[in-house]
Amino acid sequence: MLNQIVLVGRLTRDISVHKSENGKVATLTLAIPRSFKNSEGTYDTDFIECVLFDHIAENTKEFCKKGDIVGVKGRVQSRSVVKDDKKETVMQIICEKVTFLSSHTKEEE
């Protein structure tokens, strides 16, 4: 069996890293335009939440800003949450590798 995903998109916001009981964690949202037009003749965009841990989270925060293009390799993971007294399943992308395809360097700032 295989659970692997590769995504390329733009960061929708700057990344912030938080400490948790399991180490450092960050979330990012990728904006990925679809490759086809909808019935109105425009391209829809999907917004996909990704979770990063430890060194991957720190490096991505240091080198990437809102609007940068990144590639993400990881796996899909589900978790249950309770929302308005209803149990829901949330799907997330757990990042195993992030590739900086366009990013700002500290010298550019």
- List, in order, residues 6 or more apart from 17 with CB less than 8 Å away: 24, 25, 26, 57, 58, 61
Alpha-carbon distance 1 to 31, whole Å?
28
What digits encode the pLDDT tens for the residues 68-93? 999 999 999 998 989 889 999 989 99
Better pLDDT: 108 or 20:
20
What digits encode the pLDDT tens for the residues 28-73? 999 999 999 999 999 999 999 999 999 999 999 999 999 999 999 9
Q: Where are the alpha helices (DSSP H) in the chain?
A: 54-63
- The tokens for 2 are 């295989």
Domains with residue ranges and CATH for the chain:
5-33+43-101 (2.40.50.140)
Q: How far apart are the first and last CA of the chain?
A: 45
Has this prediction a pTM greater than 0.75?
Answer: yes
- The tokens for 15 are 């990344």
